[in-house]
Structure formats: structure tokens, C-alpha cells
Amino acid sequence: MTERILFVDDEPKILEAYRRTLRKNFTVLPAEGGKQALEILQAETDIPVVVSDMQMPEMNGVEFLTRVKEQYPDIIRVMLTGNADQQTAIDAINTSDVHHFLNKPCPPDKMINVLEKSVRSYYSQHAEKELLDKTLRGSISSLSEVLSLARPNVFGRISQIKSYVQACAVQLGIEYDWSLESVAILSQIGLVSLPESIVERVLKGNPLPEEEQKMFDAHPSTAADIICKIPRMEEVANSIRQQNRDFDASVKPGDKNEIPFAARVIRPVIDLVNAQSIGLSGSEAMSRIESSDKSYDPEILSALLHIITENEKGTVIDMNITALAPGAIIAQDIHTFSGALLIEKGQEIGPSMLARLLNFWHNDEIPEKLCVLILPNQGNANSPPRAANA
């Protein structure tokens, strides 16, 4: 199957000429203007390269390719024009980040060469991005599991935070990408800098003296200072740094003072998880949040309330430990027979945690049956992960 290239020109005869000339090398998708081309991009997938004429009515080539850059940044953009004006080239490169600039008439062999290079560049960038995303996501996920194993009382709630953030994103129609997941997982990492006694008191809902409260309030900045040193994690660090900011409805979208979406989500989610960890039900925790003196994004609160309402329709059952699978949600704190905390209530079981539970059970240190939460509508993306093999 030949690669599909989107050609944009307001003259149908020119588009047909491209199709005939390139038919042995590429599949040409014609679009008679920027509006039609954007409709094609919205409906189609796997278009690695867009070639656009410059002089077109309603939307010129620079305007169109700028829209492509904003909406489909991975697509390689090529400008083809009969206008050899230097300023046109500068505008095309600076405004729409054009990868190649060709003058008409362009010899077929030169155009084929540029298109082949563009296709290779697209797949090379795509593969590199996918590798980096998977590497980052996998590394961060592994870190969260290690922290949960080492200090379950502090980091065991990471999986709950991640599940609620994911469910909020789905409820609001926002993509749950690796950066949002990273904010959810790493939002609490600054707690490692604090004495465990301080963290324990906060998680139990006990007040702190003024100096200790200042120490606790600084943990998001501590986390951000660590994370911002990692390449490509600057936005994640910024969201974590701002996770305790009060929401201000007067700040308009795009304003430099706007709180990042991830920070607006993570604040009520953390407060919700902390309230549930001291024994409040989901609805009781939401009532506490809504009546507090903190300012939250009302859209996020509405999404969380919907999620809590659905989750409270779930059923708690006793499940044999050998029937557990990754994704199960534990419905009560799990302690060893000697009193050591292994997993906090509400935590989602990952592979390493499951292996740990099985090891403790084989050594007769925990009971054979555990309380597991089974949520309704299994498979519905609006809810956190569900127990498997129930």
C-alpha cells in the first residue's frame, strides 16, 4: 500500500496532474482549499505528509499549514508555490513550521525525493515519540509501584489519585495522555522530603503546628524542582508546582495566570482521596470538599461527583487471593497478622503488588480472602479500573 499524501490546491486540474504524476509512488488525496483539507484530516488517519499551494482564496497556504501545525503537529508540512518571494518562505517556515519549501513548477523527481524524505521523517519522529512516551510512562509507573511497596501508608493512594484523574479526564472529554498521568503519579513525590511523622498526621486528618504545616505545603515545589530536571517534563513539573493554587474563575483561558488543567484536577482529587482514607464515604468526602474554604474548578467537582455517584453503586465482595488480577480495587486496609500495613483501602492492585500479596499469603502472613470493590458497568471508561475475575 502506497503512502497517502494530502495535496491542497484550489485548481482541480493541478490536483489531477499531481495524482497522475505520483500515482506509482503515492496515493494522492486531493483537497480544493484549506477548509476541505481540514475536513479530510479530521475524518482520515495515517496521513504523514501535507503539501499545500500558497496562493488560495479564503485561506492561503501559510494560514492552512499553521492550522495543521496546531491541530496535527506530527504531520510533515510542505509548501509548494509559484511565488518565489523570500518573505513568503520566511512566513511559511516561521509561522507554520514548514519542513520543505518547493517552487512551482517542481520537477517530478525532486518532488518524489522530498515526499519520500518527508514520509521517512514522519515515521522516524513517530517511532521516537512513541518510544519516549512508553519509556517515560513505564519508568514513572514503575517508580510509583516501588514507592507504594516501600511506603504504602504514604504512596499507596497514588493508584487512587491516578484512577480519579483518568476518570475525570474521560468525563470531561479530555485526552488522558502521559503528561496528565505523570502529574497524577508524581504529585506526591515531594513527600519523601518530609519526616514520616508529619505526613502520617496529615493523612490522618490531624492539624500541624505552623512551622510543620509550612514544610508540608512546600512538598509540591520540592517535587517540581526534582521533576523539571528531566527532559520533556517541564509542563508536568509546572502542574505539580501549582497543585495547591485556588481556582480563580476570573482568569480567562490562555491567560498567563491560568492554572494548568492537570493542577486543577489534581487538587480536589487529592483532597477526595485523603478524606476517603480517614473513613469518609465518597459522598461525605465530596460534601467536605464543597463546603471547605478552598476554591476548586466547578467543572472538576461536577465530574468527580458524577464519578463518586457511579462508584457508590459498586459492591464489596470477599475474593480469594488467587482470583485477584491487576486492576482489582481493594476495599479495606490489608495488614499482616503482625499488624504491618501492606495496602490501603481503595488502592488498585498492580502486578508487583499482586506478587507481593501472594508471597505474604504463601508465608501465612495475610488471610486468604480479601475485600474487593466491584464497580458497575465493567468496561465503562468513565470509572477507575475494576476488579478482574470476580
Domain extent at residue 229 = 151-312
For residues 25 and 42, state if they share a domain: yes
* SS3 sequence of 35-48: HHHHHHHHHCCCCC
Q: How far is CA 355 from the centre of its chain?
A: 27
Give a yes or no: residue 370 inside a domain: yes
Domain boundary pick from 58, 90, 125: 125
Query: Could you tell me the pLDDT band of residue 384, with boundaries at 50, 70 and 90?
Result: very low
Q: For the chain, first and last CA: distance in Å?
A: 44
* Residue 250 buriedness (CB in 10 A; 0-12 / 13-18 / 19+): exposed
Nearest 5°: the CA angle 358, 359, 364 is 95
For residues 248 and 320, state if they share a domain: no
Percent of the chain with pLDDT over 70: 91
Query: Could you tell me the pLDDT band of residue 341, with boundaries at 50, 70 and 90?
Result: confident
Query: What are the pLDDT digits (tens) for 77-116?
Result: 998 877 656 666 666 666 777 888 888 888 999 999 999 9
- Give the helix, strand, coil percentages of the chain, each rounded to 5: 55, 10, 35
Tell which wins on pLDDT, 117 or 155: 117
Query: What are the pLDDT digits (tens) for 42-77?
Result: 998 889 999 999 888 889 888 999 999 989 988 999
| One-letter amino acid of 123 | Y
pLDDT above 80 for 383: no
pTM above 0.85, yes or no: no
- Count: domains in the chain: 3
For residues 295 and 191, state if they share a domain: yes
For residues 320 and 283, state if they share a domain: no
The interaxial angle of helices 108-150 and 158-172, nearest 10 deg, is 140
Give the CATH number for residue 39.
3.40.50.2300
pLDDT of residue 380: 41
For residues 166 and 227, state if they share a domain: yes
For residues 163 and 257, state if they share a domain: yes
Tell which wins on pLDDT, 149 or 183: 183
For residues 156 and 301, state if they share a domain: yes
Give the burial string for 279-299 (b: 16+ CB within 10 Å, else e): ebebeebbeebeeeeeebbee
Give a yes or no: residue 133 inside a domain: no
For residues 107 and 196, state if they share a domain: no
pLDDT of residue 20: 92
Query: What are the pLDDT digits (tens) for 186-245?
Result: 999 898 888 888 988 888 889 999 999 999 999 999 999 989 888 778 999 999 999 999
Query: What are the pLDDT digits (tens) for 282-336?
Result: 889 999 998 888 899 999 999 999 999 887 777 888 889 988 888 788 888 888 9
For residues 302 and 352, state if they share a domain: no
Domain boundary pick from 125, 159, 184: 125
For residues 165 and 301, state if they share a domain: yes
Give a yes or no: residue 163 inside a domain: yes
For residues 39 and 115, state if they share a domain: yes
For residues 361 and 319, state if they share a domain: yes
Between CA 71 and CA 65 the distance in angstroms is 10
CB 157 within 8 A of CB 346: yes
Between CA 384 and CA 164 the distance in angstroms is 6
pLDDT of residue 378: 45
DSSP state of 177: -
CB 122 within 8 A of CB 82: no
List C-alpha distances in Å: 50 to 100, 114, 290, 376. Answer: 11, 12, 49, 45
Nearest residue to 386 via CA among 343, 332, 348: 348
Between CA 149 and CA 146 the distance in angstroms is 5
pLDDT above 70 for 261: yes
| One-letter amino acid of 330 | I
Domain boundary pick from 288, 312, 336: 312
